[in-house]
Structure 1
Amino acid sequence: MSYRGSEFYDNESNFEKYMLRRQWQENANDTLEKPVISQLLGDISDQHILDLGCGDAGYGAELLDKGCSTYVGIEGSRNMFEAASSSLAAYSNGTVVHTMIEDYTYPPDAYDLVLSRLAIHYLQDIEHVFRCIHQTLKPSGRVIFSVEHPVITSTLQPSGTRTNWVVDHYFNEGYREQQWLGGTVHKYHRTVEAYFRAMQKAGFIVEQLRESKPVRENFTNDETYERRLRIPLFLFLVGRKNA
């Protein structure tokens, strides 16, 4: 059975497998993606944050602990929404909304920062979403997001430990299917240029572009570190709304 984006996690088996995968000490999210996101965020004290595709909102709880003023997570999966609600239960200034990223009603000039971690590659119409993000940011507000790197999404392969990577059909953008955790998930492949131009078209000044170069201190296993040096798994972009 195939699933659209966050719907994948409403299959109980997929959800359980994913949560177990995230507990692996050297999972790619925590060793490669999260460190770069944290660097890009910098000091988030007193900021109003919107998190698109927040998952279980564990990171949202961390941001609240670090002093952000308010945190709103958007999550389309019912299972993830319930996990996120539990993560934020102790925070009066943290909340989660159960809706798809495309369907959220984005209030104008409401947030200092819009964050999205590994969710935008599930979306078909990113130009619409980027326009919504632009309007919901305050003047000088930032958007920071990560996606699977286009060299990965160009030719998706089944999950598991790879020994080689094929990059093919790179400029044929659009719909892809991936066999992952025993199910089929829908994603959309775009080039690096396409993400960059979509941000500019929405009105953003693109301030940074990063890739997931591994840092040795984030790994306990030499073999895993050396393997992560072979190809970038994630792409990161930072945009700012004009003052």
Structure 2
Amino acid sequence: MKTEEILQLNKAGWEQSAERFFGRTALPELGPFAPTENDLDLFGEVANKKVLDIGCGSGHSLQYMGNNGAKELWGLDLTKKQIETAQELLQEQRALVMLYESPMEENPGLPRDYFDIVYSIYALGWTVELEKTLTHIHRYLKPGGMFIFSWEHPMHDRIKRVDDSFILDKSYLQEGPEYNEAWNNTVIIPHRKLSTYINTLVTVGFEIEKVIDDVVLPNVATEGNNHRWYSVDKAKLIPATFIIKARKK
């Protein structure tokens, strides 16, 4: 399936399902069972910074940045519904707000060598063309600017629950687009090894500062949690989330 076809399929899936994700996995959260920005302080001081959110969703991470003093709030997202929601959420921000409905594989008119911070919270893994997307991100950043992203750990969907056990259900080594089980096979998300993310960042010119796959478990699991996609039982075996901080040379 071609890139354009996958993007159209995923856009349709998100337009239909966007509302159930409004406000979920947004800063200061970085992903399921992961330490938060409050724990890690990856971004540091964001006051007066120009920030760009790749896959901004409902705008809640941009709202967090604005509430912490960011000077300009830019975002792009594949879906019209998400952008409209973000525009409404951010309308009272004092910072400049610029939002674009666009796939991350394309530059919808974003400036080059402009941003202090680019980030993507649980969105980058949707890209159909990773190197192309990371090349755009590298160009958006000022020299010395930082890029931080989180995504589902690539081992997470390789392991499946069967009765009271977990089994390795798919090859970690086999990369490529796959219909996603968590979305009932209605969208396509490429599977990539962790090393692919790291090596592609290096290829396009980033320096890796941190790779984090620590697990933070709740004191008490909610009822029925162990039957969910992100379960405490699975998180005891394998991280649900990985986080990478990189910098433009």
2:46 to 32, 44, 60: 44
Query: Given residue 240 of structure 2, which amino acid in structure 1 is its aligned partner?
Result: L
- Say whether the 8 Å CA contact 1:64–1:94 is kept in structure 2: no
| Structure 2 CA distance for aligned equivalents of residues 116 and 90 of structure 1 | 23
Query: Given residue 36 of structure 2, which amino acid in structure 1 is its aligned partner?
Result: P
- Say whether the 8 Å CA contact 1:156–1:178 is kept in structure 2: no
Q: Residue in 1 aligned with 2:237?
A: 230
- 1:150-173 CA distance string (max 9 Å, x none): 1024x3869xxx963535311111
Report the CA distance shift for 1:7/1:163 in structure 2 as closer, same or farther (over 3 A).
farther
- 1:82-125 CA distance string (max 9 Å, x none): 11111111124223211111122342111001101111211121
Query: Given residue 74 of structure 2, which amino acid in structure 1 is its aligned partner?
Result: V
- Say whether the 8 Å CA contact 1:115–1:144 is kept in structure 2: yes
1:100 to 92, 100, 103: 103
Select the structure that is richer in helix: 1
| Structure 2 CA distance for aligned equivalents of residues 59 and 195 of structure 1 | 22
Q: Residue in 1 aligned with 2:33?
A: 32
Is it true that 1:120 corresponds to 2:121 in the alignment?
no
- Say whether the 8 Å CA contact 1:106–1:135 is kept in structure 2: no
Query: Given residue 134 of structure 1, which amino acid in structure 2 is its aligned partner?
Result: H
Identical positions, percent: 22
Aligned residues between the structures: 229
Query: Given residue 104 of structure 2, which amino acid in structure 1 is its aligned partner?
Result: I
Map 1:1-243 onto structure 2 (within 5 A).
4-11=9-16, 14-19=17-22, 22=24, 32-33=33-34, 35-36=36-37, 39=40, 40-92=42-94, 93-104=96-107, 105-153=109-157, 155=158, 164=166, 166=168, 168-182=170-184, 184-216=186-218, 219-221=219-221, 226-227=232-233, 228-242=235-249
Query: Given residue 166 of structure 2, which amino acid in structure 1 is its aligned partner?
Result: N
- Say whether the 8 Å CA contact 1:214–1:229 is kept in structure 2: no
Query: Given residue 105 of structure 2, which amino acid in structure 1 is its aligned partner?
Result: E
Report the CA distance shift for 1:167/1:48 in structure 2 as closer, same or farther (over 3 A).
farther
TM-score where L is the length of structure 2 = 0.80
- Say whether the 8 Å CA contact 2:35–2:216 is kept in structure 1: no
- Say whether the 8 Å CA contact 2:30–2:150 is kept in structure 1: no
| Structure 2 CA distance for aligned equivalents of residues 163 and 42 of structure 1 | 41
Structure 2: runs of 5 or more not aligned: 1-5, 226-230
| Structure 2 CA distance for aligned equivalents of residues 36 and 166 of structure 1 | 31
- 1:68 Cα deviation from its structure 2 partner: 1.0
TM-score where L is the length of structure 1 = 0.82
RMSD of aligned alpha carbons: 3.0
Report the CA distance shift for 1:61/1:136 in structure 2 as closer, same or farther (over 3 A).
same
113-122 or 47-56: bigger deviation: 113-122
- Say whether the 8 Å CA contact 2:52–2:75 is kept in structure 1: yes
Query: Given residue 9 of structure 1, which amino acid in structure 2 is its aligned partner?
Result: W
